Structures are given as structure tokens and as C-alpha cells.
Amino acid sequence: MRAIRDVQPATTLGQDLASFLRYFVHPVQTVSLLPRWTLTRILIFHFSSLFLLGAVAGIFPWPNSPLHFWLSVILLPTLGTLSWLILALILKLAIPLAVDQRPGFHAVLILALLTQLPLYVTRLFIPVSGLIMTVGFAMSAMILTVGLTENFKVPKKKSMMIVACLYSLAFILWFGSYMQTRELQPF
């Protein structure tokens, strides 16, 4: 197996922040050439974005409920980190099966973070429409497909197969959870 060259760290925090903000304007272009973030900055961007989104989710659509705010601030970063690491581990194991390469875990962590951000953002709009998560699933699947194809040289068909398997399982779990919570809520 040949190893894929890992992502090199960027020189300044300003460059890292600029590439993180550029992702929200052009996500597909940003993920086609992974940003050069250090592990510390990956963790800072991950936790700060999840904390911020958790705080907004705790305040925005619901009435003043301090318990809901604190649950959003604590649970979203915790569960988001768990799902981020699981996705990164699955990708780390799936890429060598698709192509004869061993990706660096650093690059896989960045790709997994950039892949999950659309899901986190669309999660804010669940009170408006619970089905908005399907848009988040579609966006993150597209970003993951481009990231696997461009960065890890996984053939497009194999990349789409990996993404289809991952997201069909995630979609089934999400849909089951969605239907279960719809049954519990009165109309």
C-alpha cells in the first residue's frame, strides 16, 4: 500500500480562519483541496462551531427554556464529536478498501468535519420543517463524494458507493427517529 501525503499545517491562524469561512461560501471548491489545518485548529473549529450552533439551536426557535438551552449547548457538541469521530474512523477504514492507499488520519478528520457542517447547520431549521435534514444529507453526501474523489483519488463510482452506503444507513436511522418523535408530538 502506498501512503497518501497528509495535509500540511498552515502557517497562520488568519489563513486557517479564512479557509474555514471560505468553506461556507464555496463548500465544494474548499473540500476539493483540503485546507491545511493543524490538529489543534481542527478541534478548535469543530468545538467552536458546534458550541455556537448548539447555543443558537437552544435560543432560536423555542420559547425561553434554560434547560433546553443547556441541553443544546452540551449535547450537540458531545454527540456531534462522537458522530464526527465515527465518520472519520469509517472513512479511514473504507478508503484503503476502495483504493490501494492509506490516508492520513489528519486529512480524514478535516474531510469528516467539512462533510458534517451542512448537517449541523440544517439542524437549526428542524422546528420549521423536520424534513429539512434531507437537504443537509444531500449536501453533505455531495461534499463527501467530491472530497473522496479529489483528495484521496477514490474512483467516482467507488466514492459514490461508499457515500451511498454511509448515508443510506444514516438516513434510515434519522427517518426512524423522525417518525418516532412525530408520533409522540400532538398535532
Cα–Cα distance between 187 and 87 in angstroms, integer?
Answer: 35
DSSP character for 18?
Answer: H
Query: Is 19 inside any structural domain?
Result: yes
pTM: 0.79
Query: Is 72 inside any structural domain?
Result: yes
Query: Is 136 inside any structural domain?
Result: yes
How many domains, the chain? 1
34 confidence band (pLDDT: 50, 70, 90):
confident
Return the bridge partners of 2, or none.
Answer: 101
Query: Is 1 inside any structural domain?
Result: no
What would the grid cell of residue 115 be?
462533510
Query: Is 2 inside any structural domain?
Result: no
Express each pLDDT in 116-135 by its tens digit. 888 888 877 776 776 777 88
Cα–Cα distance between 158 and 39 in angstroms, integer?
Answer: 28
Whether pLDDT at 63 is above 70:
no
Q: Are 158 and 102 in contact (CB under 8 A)?
A: no
Q: Which residue type sits at 124? A: L
Q: What backbone torsions phi and psi does residue 32 show, to the nearest 5 degrees?
A: -70, -25
Residue 173 belongs to domain spanning: 7-184
Express each pLDDT in 148-169 by its tens digit. 999 898 999 999 999 999 888 8
